[in-house]
Amino acid sequence: MIPFRVQLRPGVSLFEQIVYAATRAMVAGQLRPGDAFPSVRALSKELKINPNTAAKVVAHLVSVGLLEMRPGVGTVVATLPDSTARERTQLLDQQIEELVVEAKRLGIELDETQAALTAHWNKLGGTEKPAGTRKGDS
């Protein structure tokens, strides 16, 4: 089983979606340094994607240093540098942009949008910190 959530949308590059989902999982602490990352074969079979695409995903994550190859073990999540809150926020960039575009399209003002955001935030409750949070996070 893939140890992180991937909801594939048709029409958008599979490669991008999976890289994003994996990166997000790592930065959010769902995948921790040293955790085994699914093999190309496992990715391909579980997500029902072309093995070449799966291979490209793994190769890319290795090349940007998020995964490393351990002989005899396979691909594992690399020891991540402390991710700052800023880096984690950047992952949300696309959703935030979509939210802003939609709000403007509907003629909703910034303060109304912020109020709605706050309401939802509180509704979902809890202030669980992800496992990767470090002391002195800015």
Partner 1 sequence: MNAAIRTENLEKHFGRTAALDGVSLAVPEGAIYALVGRNGAGKTTLMKLLMNILRPSRGTAQVLNADATRLAGKGFCGIGYVSENQQLPDWMTVGALLDFCRPFYPTWDRALAGELVAQFDLPLDRRLRQLSRGMRMKAAFVSALAYRPRLIVLDEPFSGLDPLVRDELVDSLLELAGESTIFISSHDLAEIESLASHVGYLEEGHLLFSEEMSTLSERFRDVTVTLPEAAAARADFPAACIDVQIAGPVVRFVHTQYEGAATERQVAEAFPSALSIVYDPMPLRAIFLAVAKSQRDRARLAQTNARTVNV
- Residue ranges in contact with partner 1 by CB under 8 A: 8, 10-14, 41, 44-45, 47-53, 105
First-residue to last-residue Cα distance in the chain: 34
Q: Is 103 exposed, middle or buried (0-12, 13-18, 19+ CB in 10 A)?
A: middle
Q: Read off φ and ψ for residue 39, nearest 5 degrees.
A: -70, 165
The minimum distance between CB 49 and partner 1, in angstroms, equals 5
Burial (0-12, 13-18, 19+ Cβ within 10 Å), 54: buried
Of residues 19 and 27, the one with the C-beta less far from partner 1 = 19
Between CA 126 and CA 19 the distance in angstroms is 28
For partner 1, the closer CB: 6 or 80: 6
Closest distance to partner 1 from the beta carbon of 130 (Å) = 29
Nearer to partner 1, 58 or 77 (CB): 58
Q: 36 or 49: whose CB is closer to partner 1?
A: 49
What minimum distance in Å lies between the beta carbon of 105 and partner 1? 6
Smallest distance, partner 1 to C-beta of residue 100, A? 13
- What is the Cα–Cα distance from 75 to 97, expressed in whole angstroms? 33
Nearest Cα residue to 81 out of 64, 58, 69, 93: 64
